[in-house]
Amino acid sequence: MKSFLEQNISHDSLLTLFSQAPVAMALLIGDDFCIHNANPQMLELWGRDISIIGKPLFEVLPEIISQGFLDIFKSVYHGGEIFKGNKRSVFLEKYGKYEEHFFNFIYAPVYNDDKKIIGISIVATEVTDQIVSERRWKDSEYRFEDLIKNSDYSIAIYQTEDLYIELANEKMLKTWGKNAAVIGMKLDDALPELEGQPFIAILKDIFKTGKTYSAKEDKVDLVVDGKLQTFYYNFSYKPLKNQNGEVYAILNMAADVTDLVLAKKEIQEREEKFRDLADSMPQFVWTCDNEGEITYMNESWYKYTGSTANDNQTKLVKQMMKPATAEIADEVWKNCVKTKTPFVMEFEFEDPENKGTYRWFLGRAVPNFSENGDIKQWTGTFTDIDEFKQLETQKDNFLGIASHELKTPLTSLKLYTQYIKTNLEKAGDPKNANVAGRMDYQIDLLTGLINELLDVTKIQKGQIQLNESYFDFDKLVDEVVEEQQMTSRHKLFVSRTNKIGEVFADRHRISQVMTNLISNAIKYSPEADEVHISTGLNGNDAQFNVRDFGIGIPEDQHAKVFDQYYRISASRDYTFPGLGLGLYISSEIIKRTGGEIFVSSVEGEGSDFCFRIPKIKN
């Protein structure tokens, strides 16, 4: 062979072949492994240039000594063994960077004619990119598997058109009501109950079309806990494709929405019942969003207005409302939205059958809140109270007429009673004179009740007049207290934080309010001996307080004490006379004066009534 090579192939040809080989090659000579030759591929692999030719390998690559290569080369050189490295990790310092590389290589002994080993040949290929890719793939695969196992969704992978279950996480197994034994089985064998349901056919079709399939709130029947049950899922079937674009598997992801679907069905059933109930009511029942846009009206409204669900009901309500109250209603509504409190207001709607005429309605609405406290919607009603308002007007007219007509005979009766009392006193009959005096007192009480009824009818009709002028507020307080003290066993104590002086208001009406508050304090504190009255300035307002130590008012009734005909109920067996109009009249007088009236009370401990009026109106 040697003779053949020497005779037929020149040394230069061998060097050319060696240098142009497609793989990295090198020849080491001697027991110091001197680099006799290294082709460009090997120089590139080592990260060195041609200047290393003729130098010992471990002088050129000292970093590989500690990696076991010295022992390997000695074994090849002295033992004649061939060493093969497969994807071997080697740390090399190349171009100033010390990095890990991977190689496939062969170290083989080189013999002379005497069959003595004189060196080592090296053939190598770098496979670093391949190893890095494999590692990345493995890492990706591990992450993918970990993601599937720990996912909040039910996940499975089906292989081939026969739908073998390659993978299923715990959530999917729980969804199926199965254990890990089904992995590796055909899907239709693992879940025979899917027969007759569309899912197997959909999956097989995806292998042909390569298109993703998804569904929301889809129904599926599965055998779980030994019985066939219905569930609902949001799920997707996503095809997994190879480099050729062919589908080799399907990724199934699913989320159980059974509770959500059942809850929605229950809500829908409740809404249907609510609408059926609402449609059967004579009242107009409606709902609207937080912006006031009406989202529902019951059938009674459509019959009354002749409108349909396609009409803009929000606009129609505003059009039907009497213009004088429309703006007020809008302001009241905005305040209710802002404060998240119920809406209550009386207003007039145009009568569709009699254009230009209006009927009274009571509008009510309550907010419906979400879990985080935001208003989801408002639920309201419009109740026809036109007949009630007419009756109320008739009642007010009757009370006004009756009260007015009663005043004349009462005035005469009072004169006769006073005449009889005077004559009895002159005749020396004090006993009967005292009886006549009591009759006179009862006539005063009756006159007071009639005057209250007259005041109420005036207030309702907007006819109450305020004859305003300047007067001394402090002097008026003294007069009222002195007058009340004459007929009361309670001790009335007056205290002043500072002098108020003159105010501009109706002296008679303010006196009426003071008298009412003091007489109420006396009346509703039957077991107490004192009533405290205090006055003072509150900014630019004159303030008047009456504090009693009587029965008090329950907290939930504080807002009602200024309503018409409201009477405070005692927890004991007391009977308190009166129509329940005094505080209502007092409240209206103070409001019309531009002031405010309020109460602070604790049941069983007494009450503190207070009003404030501006000293001078702007």
- Of 592 and 451, the structure prediction assigns the larger pLDDT to 592
In the prediction, which pLDDT does 270 show?
80
Q: Which long-range contacts (CB under 8 A, 24 or more apart) does 177-185 make?
A: 177/222, 177/223, 177/224, 177/225
Q: Are residues 223 and 285 in the same domain?
A: no
Domain end (from 96, 130, 164): 130
pTM of the model: 0.40
In this structure, the number of other CB atoms found within 10 A of the CB of residue 474 comes to 17
In the prediction, which pLDDT does 559 show?
75
Residue 159: strand, helix, or coil: strand
Q: Are residues 454 and 557 in the same domain?
A: no
Residue 105 lies in a domain: yes
User: Does residue 225 register a pLDDT over 80?
Assistant: yes
In the prediction, which pLDDT does 5 show?
40
CATH of the domain at 572: 3.30.565.10
CA 351 and chain centroid, separation: 40
In the prediction, which pLDDT does 400 show?
54
Paired tokens of 270: 């409740």
User: Does residue 1 register a pLDDT over 50?
Assistant: no
Residue entry with tokens 């009260």: 403
Residue 319 lies in a domain: yes
The C-alpha atoms of residue 170 and residue 177 are separated, in whole angstroms, by 10
CATH of the domain at 408: 1.10.287
Mean pLDDT over 585-592 rounds to 85
Residue 489 lies in a domain: yes
In the prediction, which pLDDT does 430 show?
83
Residue 271 lies in a domain: yes
Domain end (from 130, 164, 179): 130
Contact 42, 26 (CB under 8 A): yes
- Of 387 and 440, the structure prediction assigns the larger pLDDT to 387
Q: What is the pLDDT of residues 233-263, one digit of tens each?
A: 999 999 988 888 899 899 999 999 999 999 8
Mean pLDDT over 430-456 rounds to 71
Q: Kindly indicate the confidence band of residue 437, based on its pLDDT and cuts at 50, 70 and 90.
A: confident
Buried-state track 412-449, b at ≥16 Cβ within 10 A, e below 16: ebbeebeebbeebeeeeeeeebeebbebbeebeeebeb
In the prediction, which pLDDT does 2 show?
42
Q: Are residues 171 and 80 in the same domain?
A: no
Residue 7 lies in a domain: yes
Residue 137 lies in a domain: no
Q: Are residues 439 and 484 in the same domain?
A: no
Number of compact structural domains in the chain? 5
How many CA atoms, within 13 angstroms, populate the side-chain half-sphere of residue 592?
A: 20
CATH of the domain at 278: 3.30.450.20
What residues make up the domain containing 421?
Answer: 389-460
Q: Kindly indicate the confidence band of residue 490, based on its pLDDT and cuts at 50, 70 and 90.
A: very high
In the prediction, which pLDDT does 143 show?
63
User: Does residue 60 register a pLDDT over 60?
Assistant: yes
In the prediction, which pLDDT does 492 show?
94
Residue 308 lies in a domain: yes
Q: Are residues 177 and 271 in the same domain?
A: no
Could you tell me where the DSSP H helices lie in 65-127? 69-79
Q: Are residues 474 and 610 in the same domain?
A: yes
User: Does residue 419 register a pLDDT over 60?
Assistant: yes
Q: What is the pLDDT of residues 142-194, one digit of tens each?
A: 666 666 677 778 888 899 999 999 888 888 999 999 999 999 999 999 999 99
The C-alpha atoms of residue 16 and residue 11 are separated, in whole angstroms, by 9
Q: Are residues 323 and 368 in the same domain?
A: yes
In the prediction, which pLDDT does 542 show?
93
- Of 149 and 66, the structure prediction assigns the larger pLDDT to 66
Q: Are residues 8 and 124 in the same domain?
A: yes
Residue 415 lies in a domain: yes
- Of 91 and 18, the structure prediction assigns the larger pLDDT to 91
**47-51, 383-387, 571-575, 580-584: which has the highest mean pLDDT?**
47-51
Q: What is the pLDDT of residues 386-403, one digit of tens each?
A: 877 776 666 665 555 555
Mean pLDDT over 270-277 rounds to 75
Which residues lie below 8 Å from residue 335, measured CB to CB, with a gap of 6+? none
Burial of 544 (0-12, 13-18, 19+ CB in 10 A): buried
Mean pLDDT over 415-440 rounds to 80
In the prediction, which pLDDT does 506 show?
87
Mean pLDDT over 364-388 rounds to 87
Domain end (from 460, 480, 514): 460
Q: Are residues 50 and 110 in the same domain?
A: yes
Mean pLDDT over 1-7 rounds to 42
Residue 334: strand, helix, or coil: helix
Q: Are residues 310 and 413 in the same domain?
A: no
Q: Are residues 367 and 394 in the same domain?
A: no
How does the average pLDDT of the chain come out, rounded? 84
Name which of 71, 72, 74, 48 is nearest 59 in CA terms: 48
Q: Are residues 71 and 86 in the same domain?
A: yes
